[in-house]
Amino acid sequence: MPLIILLYFDWTGNRKELGEWVEKIKISCEEEDVEYMGVYGPMNVKWNYAAMFKCDSVDQFRVMARKVPRPAYMPHYINEILFQTRI
Which CATH number covers residue 28? 3.30.70.1030
Angle at 23 between CA 68 and CA 11, to 5 degrees: 70
Domain that residue 39 falls in: 3-77
Report if residue 48 sits inside a domain.
yes
Instruction: Tell me, yes or no, whether 64 lies in a domain.
Output: yes
* 82 located within any domain: no
- pLDDT single digits (tens) 35-47: 999 999 878 778 8
73 part of a folded domain: yes
- Residue 52, in any domain of the structure: yes
Cβ neighbors of 36 (< 8 A, separation 6 or more) are: 25, 26, 29, 51, 52, 53
Question: Does 25 reside within a domain?
Answer: yes
34 within a domain of the structure (yes/no)? yes
For 20-36, the pLDDT digits (tens) are: 999 999 999 999 999 99
Distance CA 73, CA 10 (A): 8
Query: How many distinct structural domains can be found in the chain?
Result: 1
The string of pLDDT tens digits covering residues 34-77 is: 999 999 987 877 889 999 999 999 999 999 999 999 999 999 99
